[in-house]
Amino acid sequence: MIFTSILKFEAKFLRRFCAGILLISLFANVFAQETEQAISPKLKVESQLSTLPAEKTPAIQQEQSALSVPDFSSDLVGEGDQLLITVFGQPDLSADVIVGPTGIITLPLVGTIDIKGKTANEVASIFSRKLEQGQYLLNPKVSVKINQQVSRSFSVIGEVLRPGRFPLQGQMSIVEALSLAGGVTPRADKHLKVLRRASQNGHTELREFTSLKLDFDDEKNNDSLMQKILPNDVLIIGQQKNFYVYGEIRRPGMYPMEDDLNIVRVLSIGGGVTERGSASRIIIHRKSDNGELKEIPAQISDTVLPGDVVMIKERIF
C-alpha cells in the first residue's frame, strides 16, 4: 500500500517536471525569435554599409569641395588681388592686403615684399622665411589665400544675358566665356570684338585684338571661337545692326545686316520691286559721321551700310 502511493507520487512529480521543462523551452524559443527580429534590422543596415567602397564618401566630398571653393594657390598674384595672410598663433602679424600696380606689398615686421609673378604659396614661403631670418618667430606657419582675384578675370559686355566681370579659372575659350555670361540675346550682332591689354611706351591700354563672326554653323569659324582668352580680356557683343527698305518694294521694313550687302541683295530680301517700282531709281539715305543725312543715288551693285535707308522710287513711265 505504501509502495503503491510512492509510485503514484513519483509519476505525478515526473509529469509536472516534464511540463515545466516544456514550458521553459517554449518561452526560450519565443524570446530568441523576438531578440533576433529586434537585432536583425541593425545587422542588415551594418552589412549594407560595409559593402560600400571606403573611398566613395571622401571622393564625393573632395569633388563637392573643389566645385564650391576654387583653389587659387597655384595662380599668379596680380594687380588688384586681395590677399588674406594668416600667421598661425600670431594674429597681430596677419594682414589683409590688396596688391598694387607695382606688385609690392607691405607686411608686419618684414616691411615691403615684391610678389609680382609669384603664387599664393610662394608669397607664404617668402613671408615665413623673412620672419625666421629676422628672428621674429621660430618655424612660423604662414597661409596666404586669394580672397578676390581681380587680376585673373575677364569681362563680357553688350548683348548678353548676364554682362559683367567673371573670374578666369584655368583655360577658357571664347565660347565658354559667352556661355558663362548666359549667351547672347536676340538683339545681338553677329560679330564679336575681343579687346586685350597691350603695353606701349611703358603704358598699358586695351586695344582691339580680334573681331570674330558669331556663326556656330560654320566649322571653319568654330576654330577661332575656341581660342583661349587671357586675363583682363574684354569681350564685346554689340547690338544687331539693321538696314531699312521702303517705297515700291513688296516687303518693306527693317532687316538685319548681312556681310557684303548690296542693292541686289536688298531687293531680294524685300521680295522684289513692285509693278510700279523701278530698279534704276533707287536712293540711299545715309548719315555721315557728323550726323548729316545724305541722299545718294544708288546702282544695283552699290554697297549698303548699317543704318542705311534704301528707297525704291516709282518708274517714270
Task: Give the domain ranges of the chain.
Answer: 1-46, 82-148, 153-239, 242-314
Position 221 confidence tier, pLDDT thresholds 50, 70, 90:
confident
User: Mean pLDDT, to the nearest integer, of 84-104?
Assistant: 90
Domain 82-148, what fold? wza like fold (3.30.1950)
Position 18 confidence tier, pLDDT thresholds 50, 70, 90:
low
Q: Is it true that 153-239 and 242-314 share their CATH fold? A: yes
Q: Which CATH number fits domain 153-239: 3.10.20.600, 3.50.50.60, 3.10.560.10, 3.40.50.720?
A: 3.10.560.10
Q: What is the dihedral of CA 51, 56, 57, 59, to 10 degrees?
A: 170
Compute the mean pLDDT over every residue in the chain, rounded to the nearest whole number: 78
User: Mean pLDDT, to the nearest integer, of 141-168?
Assistant: 89
Side-chain half-sphere exposure of 15, counting CA atoms within 13 A: 5
Per-residue model confidence (pLDDT) at position 74? 53
pLDDT at position 169 over 50:
yes
**CATH number listed for the domain at residues 242-314:** 3.10.560.10
Q: Tens digit of pLDDT for each residue in 248-304?
A: 999 999 999 988 999 999 999 999 999 999 999 999 999 988 888 999 999 999 999
Q: Tens digit of pLDDT for each residue in 226-243?
A: 899 988 899 999 999 999
pLDDT at position 145 over 80:
yes
Considering the entire predicted model, what is its pTM? 0.55
